Amino acid sequence: MKNMMEVKGLTFTYSGANEASLVDVTLPVEKNKVTALIGPSGCGKSTLLRGMNRIHDLYPGHTYEGVINLLNTDGKSYTNILDIKKEAELIRLRQRVGMIFQKPTPFPMTIFENIAYGLRLSGIKNKADLKDIVEQSLRDAALWNEAKDRLDHDARGLSGGQQQRLCIARAIALKPEVILFDEPTSALDPISTLAIEEMISVLREKYSICIVTHNMQQAARISDFTGFMYLGEMIEYDQTDTIFMKPSKKQTEDYISGRFG
């Protein structure tokens, strides 16, 4: 069971749209590896990512066909997350599959509360436990040194890069199995971007990661596997080295070498 998640033959149609935005997409997300999704704007990579924790379901009327498997905690069998109907189970799913967005999304609370909020929702009430987890998460997100003296400050006072690391800390506090990154550095400066990238390579040891990125160098730097998408289809998926050195499809090669996109 080396795959943490498996997307198989997924076809996704937005509510009210005539054509599917994803057609027969297949993608494995291997355990403790970083999988990158690349492709030109509008190719469906974010759509795919947002299907993997069913955040699309916030807005009714979208249709999924196919299978998205998530490895059960026993490590032996899979559950198809598209079969989930109950709100409570969706909430459980989102705690297991965390997500980081394009723009930092600090909640209007203190730094401490931003992280503790999700924990409380998941049932952790004990103050000492909360404190420990908050500290550990901030350490993992390389934010502890900067934030430890201002835990009771409004999180919106942090810089953009710090806010994004706070959001990562918030996600990992819930001990997810998978973390989805949706272009997490597109709104950040190069130095903050570097910090996030370094963090992702460390996080790989504990989590399985899937990242959507605009930036091919970023995919090459941090990922183990890469999927190239174009017009809603998965054109090619392979080890990152293979995709960037000797892609088997012409379209992939064109995109990588900058001939379109």
Partner 1 sequence: MRLILNRIFLIFSTFAALVGLFFLGWILFTLCVKGLSGLSLDVFTKDLINGGLRNVIVGQMMMSGVATMIGIPVGILAGIYLQEYGGNSKTTEFIRDLSDVMMSAPSIVVGTFVYAIVVVPTGHTTGWAGVLALFILMVPIIVRTTDDMLKLVPIELREAGIAIGASKYHVTMNIVVRYAKAGILTGILLAFARVVGETAPLIYTSGSSEFWSTDLTDTFPSLTVSIYNLATMPDDNLVQLGWTGAFLLTAMVLIINLLGRYSGKKKRS
Please state the φ and ψ torsions of residue 135, each to the nearest 5 degrees. -65, -45
d(CA 112, CA 118): 11
Choice from 39, 170, 237, 252 touching partner 1 (CB under 8 A) = 170
100 bridge partner residues: 181
Q: Does 103 bind partner 1 (CB under 8 A)?
A: yes
Q: Does 133 bind partner 1 (CB under 8 A)?
A: no
- The tokens describing 214, both together, are 């605009």
Q: Which residues contact 159 (CB under 8 A, 6 or more apart)?
A: 192
Q: Does 87 bind partner 1 (CB under 8 A)?
A: yes
Please say whether the beta carbons of 111 and 155 come within 8 A: yes
Q: Does 167 bind partner 1 (CB under 8 A)?
A: yes
Choice from 82, 109, 124, 194 touching partner 1 (CB under 8 A) = 109
Q: Does 17 bind partner 1 (CB under 8 A)?
A: no
Nearer to partner 1, 15 or 257 (CB): 15
Please say whether the beta carbons of 154 and 108 come within 8 A: yes
**Beta strands at 97-100 and 78-80: parallel, antiparallel or unpaired:** unpaired
Choice from 134, 171, 203, 219 touching partner 1 (CB under 8 A) = 171
CB of residue 120 to partner 1, shortest distance in Å: 9
CB of residue 180 to partner 1, shortest distance in Å: 8
Choice from 2, 41, 58, 128 touching partner 1 (CB under 8 A) = 58
Query: Helices H, strands E: what count in the chain?
Result: 10, 10
Q: Does 161 bind partner 1 (CB under 8 A)?
A: no
Choice from 35, 46, 47, 53 touching partner 1 (CB under 8 A) = 53
Q: Does 95 bind partner 1 (CB under 8 A)?
A: yes
194 bridge partner residues: none
Nearer to partner 1, 122 or 126 (CB): 122
Please say whether the beta carbons of 172 and 137 come within 8 A: yes
d(CA 183, CA 7): 20
CB of residue 250 to partner 1, shortest distance in Å: 36
Q: Does 108 bind partner 1 (CB under 8 A)?
A: yes
Fill in the DSSP letter of residue 149: G
Please say whether the beta carbons of 52 and 68 come within 8 A: yes
Residues in contact with partner 1 by CB under 8 A are 53, 55, 58, 87, 91-92, 94-95, 98-99, 101-103, 105, 107-109, 117-118, 121-122, 167, 170-171, 174
